[in-house]
């Protein structure tokens, strides 16, 4: 099946914190309905080590990746129920500016949903988050071929 004809794409997201250094990562991995890899984005940043902040940033990155891939019908999946709840309820608090940006950006899509999925179904995104800790700081895109651990 051609990815362009697939209705909804799933973007799995995750964040990770370095054990020793003051750095974190957040990422998004996009696949079509046949599980074909379509693209990924991973960001490594210094000084951000709050796990919930990194999870919230991963949702924002998923929206950016979907815009980069020019697709209008997306489903973003995460193993972080708290951030999903915050998005659905438009919560204020520590991450309110990120949640507000996610909410505003999601309106650019014809359909955008946020769902909870346990770690077992989110292994590729979790693997990418851990791998990104070993990369240089900044955004790392994979739009043509996945890294070997994402196949």
Task: Tell me if 22 sits within 8 A of 49, measured CB to CB.
Answer: yes
Predicted TM-score (pTM) of this structure: 0.85
pLDDT tens figures, 9-50: 999 999 989 888 789 999 999 999 888 889 999 999 999 889
Which residue did the predictor score with more confidence, 105 or 8?
A: 105
Q: Which two tokens stand for residue 23?
A: 């750095």
Could you identify the residue written with the tokens 């999903």?
84
């Amino acid at each position: 099946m051609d990815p362009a004809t697939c209705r909804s794409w799933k973007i799995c997201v995750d964040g990770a914190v370095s054990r020793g250094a003051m750095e974190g990562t957040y990422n998004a991995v996009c696949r079509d309905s046949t599980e074909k890899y379509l693209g990924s984005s991973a960001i490594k940043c210094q000084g951000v080590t709050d796990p919930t902040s990194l999870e919230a940033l991963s949702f924002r990155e998923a929206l950016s990746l979907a815009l980069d891939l020019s697709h209008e019908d997306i489903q973003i999946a995460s193993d972080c129920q708290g951030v999903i709840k915050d998005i659905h309820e438009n919560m204020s608090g520590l991450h309110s500016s990120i949640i507000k940006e996610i909410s505003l950006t999601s309106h650019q899509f014809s359909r955008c949903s946020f769902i909870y999925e346990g770690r077992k179904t989110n292994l590729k995104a979790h693997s990418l988050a851990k791998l990104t800790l070993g990369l240089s700081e900044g955004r790392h895109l994979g739009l043509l071929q996945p890294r070997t651990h994402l196949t």
